[in-house]
Structure 1
């Protein structure tokens, strides 16, 4: 397998809101959806029970990174909610160390639901990190690379 396609290489993520980059993140979790089903029994059919789709739910996405100058972009986006909530589209891209795209996901109606800044404690030598959690109303193929 060529080195540039090595699945074990380091991956990082970028987040863009309506085309505006909020920077790079080194962790991304929660890219998931679940289809809820309802069971229906059919009279005279004892072989199985129908599993009918009823609703699709999407989990909250959690992005993490060390503190960077791009933190101010996240703060500006969250602060903009005070003047009215708009739910933009977003794109998350997974990139290799050389910058080539592994995969990308388009998100519909994105909203930041939580931001956690770093703990700035001089007694703790840990890396200052931030966590951004966003919610959305579904995936779109607009994120396809």
Structure 2
């Protein structure tokens, strides 16, 4: 008997940084990692090249959402860095509309890279969105998981 799989059709991503809730985002891109390989050739071996893992690199994570009440929370977090900075820990939870957590990720050493607000153009009416981009040093157990 196959286990039932509840595929997440509609998700939102709830983000908190050092237990500071930044609200829900409609899209999340960049969760992943890449192992950097060093290659070595062995004298007399013409069949293959040795590949050794050397380090892991993590892309930046981009979170996007429509403009809303939680927009000010991002500004408060970024502004707090000007008063003294230490690396933060973040939790990203993928949730269904009924608040069921589908998956969660903990990020270590989070730093803000970029925030971009909406573009206002009366010629092309669109939903006003904002994007937060953060860098991190790797995955850890999600807080409160």
2:40 matched residue in structure 1: 40
Please identify which structure carries the higher helix content: 1
Q: CA deviation at 1:40?
A: 1.3
> How many residues matched?
143
The reply to whether residue 7 of structure 1 matches residue 7 of structure 2 is: yes
Partner of 2:116: 116
Q: CA RMSD in A?
A: 1.8
Q: 116-125 vs 95-104, which deviates more?
A: 116-125
Mean alpha-carbon deviation: is it higher for 16-25 or for 119-128? 119-128
Q: Deviations over 1:92-137 (max 9, x none)?
A: 1101111111111100010111000111334432111000000001
Alignment of 1:44-59 (within 5 A): 44-59=44-59
SS of residue in 2 equivalent to 1:89? strand
Taking structure 1 as the reference length, the TM-score comes to 0.90
TM (normalized to structure 2)? 0.90
User: How is 1:1-145 mapped onto 2 (pairs within 5 angstroms)?
Assistant: 6-143=6-143, 145=145
CA distance in 1, matches of 2:22, 2:134: 13
Q: Provide the C-alpha distance between the structure 2 equivalents of 1:125 and 1:137, rounded to a whole number of angstroms.
A: 38
Note the C-alpha offset of 1:49: 1.9
CA deviation string 1:58-80 (max 9, x = no partner): 00000000001100000001111
